[in-house]
Structure 1
Amino acid sequence: MQFSTLKRVFPFILLILFGLFSSQLQAQEISGRVYDDASALPGVTVFNSNEKTAVVTNEDGAFTIKATIGDTLTFQSSFHISQDKIITMAEYRTLLIVELKQKVNTLDEVLLSGKEKEFDVEKYNADLSKQIENDIKNNPFDYGKAPAGGGVNLLALVKLAISIFKKKPEKQIIYATQTDLIHLFNEDEFFTETLLESTLKIPKHYKNLFLDYCAAKQIEEDLLKEENKFQLLDILVISSNEFKEILVEYEAGK
């Protein structure tokens, strides 16, 4: 083959090779294990934000998910800090190992240290008295006419104490219905039939019954919002395991 001919066809050869290389990458899967500082982590959600797919780690912390170079995998657990991992060529050549850090809150620290602070009644009463005294000084007309001795109106003081201790009305909680969940799985890009069958392992003919079971557990409607999808997925994973145990008992009792 003459050099001029090779020069003309070389770009096409590169294009074909690149196409074959890309198609191979798209067909590959990433495998890995998730740990914390104590052990392997089952039940961790591995979410591919580019493909909008998810899997859950098994009892050994292992997972396998389809991904291409440049995809971002998010590792999410209720008791651990979430972590993002951008897939590179190296992840195709070896087992992906991810270590999540446990969440620590103030209550945990208090319980672990054994130094729970005791309630100081005298200090609390002194603070309350100081608060009332300052309020009288700043807002004298709110307390009505003072008695002859120059004291403060007792009724006004009682009203002030009530206002300090009175709790604000709790926000009314709205729970998702079975219809809400069916609508979610019919129209959402993440919560799909594939997620139900492949990730949660719910047989297709049990879909509506499973969603009815989830609704009975009183899932807050706010969790159906996009920004709360990982929290909802955690609940669905737990609920699916419970539901499958019920199915096993049912099948055994036939």
Structure 2
Amino acid sequence: MKYLLCLFIICSATVNAQKITGYVYNSEGIIPNFKVENISKGFYVETNAEGKFLISANLGDSISFNSIAYDYYVFVVKQSHFEETTVVELKTSSLEEVKITGGKNFKVPVEELDDQLLKGIRSDISKNSLAYRPSQGNLIEAPLYLARLILPKKNKTAIAHKAEYNLRFEHFEAFFKEDDLINEEFLTNELLIPKKYHVLFYYFLETKHYTSALLEKNQTLEMISRLQESAKEYREELPSKQ
């Protein structure tokens, strides 16, 4: 009898479980191979090469995103998480200190950090060299620091002064064909726009007067958010188009 009761409980939990689909980003873009854990059920999955994850959960479960390289983030599952694509942006944690449970801060030498954080530090140094100073004896990073001291600011200033313009049909058509992540497959599978309506959807997006600022790499999350809103609004009109 106990065996049958346990089997019933396990089967009930399996039946009630649903899937949450989402993407994990940081300020630079997608994060592949990142651990996404259902801490209520005690299992985890990892994001794929495109930063996408698919995890089973029930209403009320806690889904966590935990790494020494990023600030801890967790959310409680609601019905909306099953109905829409979840987008999580993680903030890079302090590289100088690692916080330990108990309220104390311990200084940790770079050599003692795990491989994941070490890779993150090296990547951050290569992209934001002006925020670092080469340490004593760091002969590898010193030339990189000196070389980037001259070049990056000029490029960033030029980008900052680009004139913005309203995105038109041809811009959206080219964007969905050329972008690695937000492509025609994303349009069909994630935004749920049938392929035969792609062209009409581009015209619909043109009426939203989105600007070229959304095409910048650091605006990926904002672009996805705007597209989700527009796709939801457009899908409500689809029955009248059929």
Alignment TM-score, normalising by the size of structure 1: 0.36
- The structure where helix makes up a greater share of residues is 1
